[in-house]
Amino acid sequence: MPILGKENDIYPSDLLANDDYLTSEDRQWWCVYTLSRREKDLMRKLAVLKIAHYSPVIPKRYRSPNGRLRTSYVPLFPNYVFMFGTEEDRYEAMTTNCISKCNPIKDREQLVHDLRQIHNVIDSGVALTPEARLEPGNKVRVKTGPFAKYEGTVIRREGKTRLLLSIQFIEQCVSMEMDEGLLEPV
């Protein structure tokens, strides 16, 4: 049983599904680097301010000292929140006292593509393993199944093939176990 229930990690809930949010001329994507352990605090404040944002959150299971199985919901990319808004929205976000720095994202299409992939994988319930950085490997595409057409990099860990999905802008990744037969070279 979770200590605290899962909070919304995306606002509005159709942010990545609706292209109207993504093609706006006066709004842009920002990569927000938060102060230590302030991601959820910032997301709560951005939702109150009605500023669009996404910061993937995943369940992390562990045993407490007394042996009980606990679940916490932790940011997939610690200290990062992706915000979509105007310059005024950026200013309001900076006044929350949760932000260390805020950088504009130049390649909007690539970021949205990457975030959609991560969001869909999390929604599917597949167990994810955060990866510290991009590693060299073969670029591949999933041929069939629920993740068909997803692209990533192959890595091997403990003799198992894993597909690496990345957010290239911040050089952060997640991986999921994948059968080699489902992959084809790009």
Q: Are residues 166 and 78 in the same domain?
A: no
Q: How far apart are CA 63 and CA 136, in angstroms?
A: 34
β-pair type (151-157, 160-167): antiparallel
Q: Note the pLDDT of residue 4.
A: 66
- pLDDT score of 18: 83
Is residue 1 one of the residues assigned to a domain? no
CA 13 to chain centre: 14
Question: Which domain does 65 fall in, by range?
Answer: 10-106
Residues 137, 174 within the same domain: yes
How far apart CA 113 and CA 168 sit, in angstroms, is 11
Is there a single domain that holds both residue 86 and residue 23?
Answer: yes
Q: Which pLDDT does position 154 carry in this prediction?
A: 83
* CATH (domain of 154): 2.30.30
- Same domain (yes/no): 49, 82: yes
State pLDDT tens for residues 84-135.
Answer: 999 999 999 999 999 999 999 999 999 999 999 999 999 999 988 876 554 4
102 and 137 in a common domain: no
| Low pLDDT (below 70) residues in the chain | 1-4, 131-136
4 located within any domain:
no
Q: Do 149 and 96 belong together in one domain?
A: no
* 50 part of a folded domain: yes
Q: Is residue 115 part of a domain?
A: no
**Are 149 and 100 found together in one domain?**
no
> Per the domain annotation, does 157 fall within a domain?
yes
Residues 139 and 93 in one domain: no
Residue 64 lies in a domain: yes
Q: What is the pTM of this model?
A: 0.81
Residue 117 lies in a domain: no
Taking the C-alpha atoms of residue 186 and residue 144, their distance in angstroms, rounded to an integer, is 14
Report the CATH number at residue 74: 3.30.70
Residue 3 CA to its chain's centroid (Å): 22
What's the confidence (pLDDT) of residue 121?
94
